[in-house]
Amino acid sequence: MSGLPKVLPRTTKEWEGFVAAKSLTNKTIHGADLASASNIGYEQFLLFRVLWRTYSGLKQFDTMFGMKKWISRAGRMLAGLRSWKIYCDSFGAPYVPEGTFAIARHYQMEVLKTREDVNPIAFSTPVAHRTRSKMQRLNARSADLQLETPSKKSVKLFHTPSLLGSPDDPFTLSDDESPDDPSPFKLISPVPKGLENVLYPPSKDEQIVNTALVVFLNALTIHFKLSSNWTLHRMAFIARFEAAQFEARTDGYLDTGHGKPSPVKRSMKMVPIQMQESAQMVAWIKSESDLEQGRDKMRVHVSQDRHEIYVTVAESNAEYLAYLNDKEPCGNPPSFLTMHQFGPWDTQKSSHMQHLGPVLLALTLRAEAESKAGRDKS
């Protein structure tokens, strides 16, 4: 995607510089001038007020966000599973051993057969072929989102989870389109809701990657008495603002049976996927009730990019919630949603997975505990 920065803003100062360069100072997401459906681009991302911080040290996550006790507990639980030891010892073996993690390991190995430079022509979706050598033939779109005027009937955009762009893709900047130009408005013919997944199914490669992640997550939790379940079911979030609304979708989530899920999202190239996950997180928060928004709970993205897994934790405060709900006091300094990205963990390295297993189980345990606490307070 041409025109995007190499990295997204990491600090308030960097964000202010990007905003000034785009002439967006003192503008908010609530004042978006949207007559109809529009592209979501870098300007809209900046108005979300999201900062991104990345951590390459795999064990940094263990001591942050109060996760230490949860990871210790998860480690003890997995240590009691013979199948977990068999799985951890299976790396380098020419075959998949028996046990709970056999299917998970099978799909992790299948992921290696998927291509990193997937050709859009091979997809069973109406995506035109185009080549960009600098992006390794991938033209990732910034978000699977929809912007619309709330007063009009929703105009559904065609949906394809391939995250690959085309000249007709309303979320893609063409080669000759500058991100500094005003975003053109496009009216898209609606697709019946029941036909979306039939007309635009995931590609084979995408299904393998998504399945590898969700099957592994379920293998970690299946032997413990948890009411939560990781699912491949796709979830839509709608975020409504004063002048516009948009929809974001996930490729799976942690279903606690109550409240909102924890999204699972596979990635594209770094900046576009971070923009998309930002929009997903904003939509997730905005779709919640005031009571849910105010609860002290952890919001997490778990994503897999081919054979690598990332964990991203969203951090916000009451001031940011006030901004999203258009209740921010005048004159206050801008507040932000901070996305903390950890990883990648390599699914082909035993040491990485021995560390990641307890992390993912710990996230599931914590999410279930927070869901139960929320129900008890209701």
Q: Give me the half-sphere count of Cα atoms (radius 13 Å) on the Cβ side of residue 37.
A: 17
Instruction: Give me the sign of the Cα torsion angle 322, 324, 329, 333.
Output: positive
pLDDT tens across 307-327, in order? 899 999 999 988 999 998 888
What is the per-residue pLDDT across 252-271, written as a single tens digit (0 to 9) for each?
A: 666 666 544 555 543 447 88
Cα(143)–Cα(73) distance, rounded to whole angstroms?
36
pTM (2 decimals)? 0.68
Can you give the pLDDT at residue 17? 95
CB 282 within 8 A of CB 324: yes
Q: Which residues of 66-97 are buried (b: 16+ CB within 10 A; e: fewer)?
A: ebeebbeebbebbeebebbebbeebbeeeebe
What is the rounded end-to-end Cα distance, in angstroms, of the chain? 45
| Mean pLDDT score of the chain | 71
Long-range contacts of 256-259 (CB under 8 A, 24+ apart): 256/227, 256/228, 256/367, 256/368, 256/371, 257/227, 257/228, 257/371, 258/371, 258/374, 258/375, 259/292, 259/371, 259/374
Beta strands in 13-57 (DSSP E): 50-55
pLDDT digits (tens, 9 = 90+) for 68-79: 999 999 999 999
So what's the pLDDT on residue 249? 65
Q: Is the pLDDT of residue 145 over 70?
A: no
Dist. CA 306–CA 323, nearest whole Å: 36
Distance CA 306, CA 302 (A): 13
Contact 132, 230 (CB under 8 A): no
The CA-atom distances, in angstroms, between 155 and each of 36, 43, 189 are 9, 22, 7
Instruction: Give the SS3 label for residue 346.
Output: strand
Write down the pLDDT at residue 198. Answer: 39
The total number of residues written for the chain in this structure:
378
Q: Count Cα atoms within 13 angstroms, Cβ side, for 6.
A: 1
Tokens 């900047």 identify what position?
173
Looking at this protein, which amino acid is placed at residue 269? K
> Tens of pLDDT along 97-110?
899 999 899 888 88
Paired tokens of 212:
């590898």
Query: Residue 189 and residue 154: Cα distance in Å, rounded?
Result: 11
Instruction: State the number of CA atoms in the 13 A half-sphere of 129 facing the CB.
Output: 7
Asked whether 286 and 242 are in contact (CB, 8 A), the reply is no
